[in-house]
Structure 1
Amino acid sequence: VTIFLNSIVPKMLMDQITGVNKISVPECGIQMFLYVTLAGSEFFLLASMAYDRYMAICHPLHYPVLMNHRVCLFLASGCWFLGSVDGFLFTPITMTFPFCRSREIHHFFCEVPAVLKLSCSDTSLYEIFMYLCCVLMLLIPVTIISGSYYFILRTIHRMNSAEGRKKAFATCSSHMTVVILFYGAAIYTYMLPNSYHTPEKDMMVSVFYTILTPVLNPLIYSLRNKDVMGALKKMLNMGIVFQETIK
């Protein structure tokens, strides 16, 4: 999460403070590579987390063996490898297009679709290729996530203990919240036709899944922690008492 934010936010804040909204071609390429790599890795990491929850809920007794350190290391390495393939694939191709139009990017960072709009050459074939890659990048994780939660829901339905069902839902709810936020924004950005896009909408959606979602991730996942929930309830109760005291 920190690396994802650090690839975009520091440059954006510096531009806001100095008022100099410029970025060199090498800096733009590096930022694009980091963003694409981290976003691609995030797709597969969320799928790996769904598989982890499937193992924890559907095979709790075998979980320490099936999800040992070696397996977790293999899954994490695979996610980062696939994400880096994405970065090495899209970044060089995007940056080698001739840009003979205005060099002004209508965005707050070097995102692939925003940079492509500056090219004076025909990018339709590359956009089709990028669309097919995004479909594949989404289809594989979505299939894993859907399959995992299908078996999870079947297992939860068979549980006799209400406490067990509650615990299982609590384990999955935070992950599903992040999946919906992240995948929904990615589908809008990379898979909807150009007629649905405007610079303003693109920037709003990009802020949502490049900044807000990573920032909210720790909060979403920590809501499962009893101490965090207790502190949150205490803070809300103090706010209510304070308002009543003022009245």
Structure 2
Amino acid sequence: MRIRATVVAVSGALALSALAVPAAQADGGSGDTKITKVVVDGDNTVSVSAASTKSIKVSVTATDNSGIASADEFSLIGPNYGYLSTAKPTCVKVNATTSTCSATVLVDPRVGDVFNDEAGTWYVDAWVDAKDGDYIWKEKAASFKIQRASQLTANAAPEPVKKGKTITVTGKLSRANWETHKNAGYASQSVKLQFRKKGASTYTTVKTIKTSSTGTLSTTVKATVDGYFRYSFAGTSTTPAVNAAGDFIDVK
């Protein structure tokens, strides 16, 4: 399967990008053309689920004293030979010297666009042409993350419960497996058990526990007042942060 990363570049949109921007070429350019801003998917963080298509938008803002003419397909480079290429960008003028060029790429794990070990920090390579013939070519013009989408559950029981009695809060942390196209438990991760008193607006951390080898969670606490229990995961470089929905406990 890993052959995909080195072979697909000879066909389709990937071939156009490979021809326009040779992989071995270093940063370069001519004249006063500059890239001033790069934004990926709004906040430079992309969460991809196990079995659905994700559209990623890449926007590159560039400037030149003559104005911006066009941009080549943007290359997205990730860990372990991760590679994606956008469609041809459309450039929209901001003012006489500056334009923002945007394009999208569709990512679908079901057809091998991404593999589990490619989650993490990716980079945008961009080539932009000015109207006077100047250009800018920049490798790693910006970094962003493509992460395996996460899910987290919480269930507090028994309910209702007498004040001072023990309740058990169970749950599970899972994330997308891009190779099986299903979610799988995320093992050995620190997760916070949090509580929000009925009528309050914020959660307070009660304790921190770790997920099991299958991603499950279980811990006990004393029931004191009515309120909501949830689990909260801070995220990792490959997996986004997520909070479980709060589960209400009625204390008698």
TM-score by length of 2: 0.22
More helix by share: 1
Specify which structure has the higher proportion of strand. Answer: 2
**Which one has the largest radius of gyration?**
2
Question: Relative CO higher for 1 or 2, CA cutoff 8 Å, sep ≥ 6?
Answer: 1
- Report the TM-score when normalising by structure 1: 0.22
